[in-house]
Amino acid sequence: MIEKTAASAPGKIILFGEHFVVSGYPALVTAIEPRAVVRVQRSENTTVVKSGNIIGVWGKGGEQLYPPKNVKNHLQPLHDMAVKLLEDHGVREHFKAEIDSQIPGSAGLGSSAAVSVAFVKALSDLYGLGLGLEAIIKYAMLAEREFHGTPSGIDPHIAALGGAILYNGPGKYSRIQVNHPTPVAVLHTGVRRKTSTMVAHVQDFAAKRPDIFRELAELYGQVLSKGLHSLEQGDVKELGKWMTVNHILLRALGVSSDPVERALNDLLQLGMYGAKLTGAGGGGCVIAVGPETSYSRLRGLPRHYQTFFTTQIACRGVVSES
């Protein structure tokens, strides 16, 4: 009997199409390092989920033992997802899970989905369930819905599949071949925000001004096809240009903010070809591509930025770890 397992899944950046994807348009998303690792082991009487100094403990009947019942348990969505997964497969056992995510949270980098996906894979390995990628995505979606309301599902798909995909809704995606090494700079504005609030803002805009939203979405469609073409050709200069145009469309949807605009300008000042917010916006991260020499200049960014890094796109999806 296996006693312990571990799995990891990558973060993500959306190169083109956040928010438009919620309204049914395709988005281009790619997996990036850093990753989230989840370690699970068998447990006797209680189920424990731990992430840094946040701990959740559940008793034999699934009742919350810690924190006290009247205190919100931030790990509840992961517990509920795991319970459903085990119930569906006739497993009546307890486990301890430890989450170690290097992906900044609430920043547009898909940290919660990476954790959910790695969690499902680690449990699948522990109990010998043999879940495939589609099943892993399905269960991770349960936690994502509890965390974020009505997510498009883009995050768990890319965390499980890895590489780069054109995503068009649950189960509807095509893999994009990335044949050229493509570094991307990621800069965290330091402002955390809620995906569900930002999504609600855009959906409200789309409902109140369907004519303008449709026009912006049509423009977005053209930007996506140009951007995709430049990525496939390895034309980083063009790719950057279309990323900036996508950002302008997101600005028009009202999901940029002063910190995002400052981060964008600071990156462009370093000589980047182009930049955009990634994820829900309002804060979170800004991404940029540029000539090779521009990435070392990130160290010269204003000192108030605490998180910035350069990463490669199209890294591997969920995997078992030893």
Comparison of 115 and 123: residue with beta carbon closer to ligand PMV: 115
Residue 155 a catalytic site member? yes
d(CA 148, CA 153): 10
Q: How many CB atoms lie within 10 A of CB 27?
A: 24
User: Computed over its alpha carbons, how large is the radius of gyration of the chain?
Assistant: 20
Minimum gap (Å) between residue 291 Cβ and ligand PMV: 27
d(CA 242, CA 226): 7
Of 80, 100, 125, 155, the catalytic one is 155
Query: Which residue's CB comes closest to ligand PMV?
Result: 279
Cα–Cα nearest to 291, from 242, 252, 240: 240
Minimum gap (Å) between residue 18 Cβ and ligand PMV: 4
Cα–Cα nearest to 97, from 58, 42, 60, 161: 42
Q: Is 163 left (phi over 0), alpha (psi -120 to 50) or beta?
A: left
Comparison of 18 and 266: residue with beta carbon closer to ligand PMV: 18
Long-range contacts of 293-297 (CB under 8 A, 24+ apart): 294/185, 294/270, 295/183, 295/185, 297/270, 297/271
Minimum gap (Å) between residue 143 Cβ and ligand PMV: 13
Comparison of 10 and 129: residue with beta carbon closer to ligand PMV: 10
Comparison of 10 and 151: residue with beta carbon closer to ligand PMV: 151
Minimum gap (Å) between residue 144 Cβ and ligand PMV: 8
Task: Return residues touching ligand PMV (CB under 6 A).
Answer: 18-19, 21-22, 108, 110, 151-152, 154-155, 195, 199, 279-280, 284
Minimum gap (Å) between residue 99 Cβ and ligand PMV: 17
Comparison of 126 and 198: residue with beta carbon closer to ligand PMV: 198
C-alpha triplet 104, 106, 110: angle, nearest 5°: 70
Cα–Cα nearest to 153, from 311, 312, 6, 12: 12
SS3 state at 317: coil
**Largest CA-CA distance found in the chain, in angstroms, rounded:** 60
Which active-site residues does the annotation give? Answer: 155
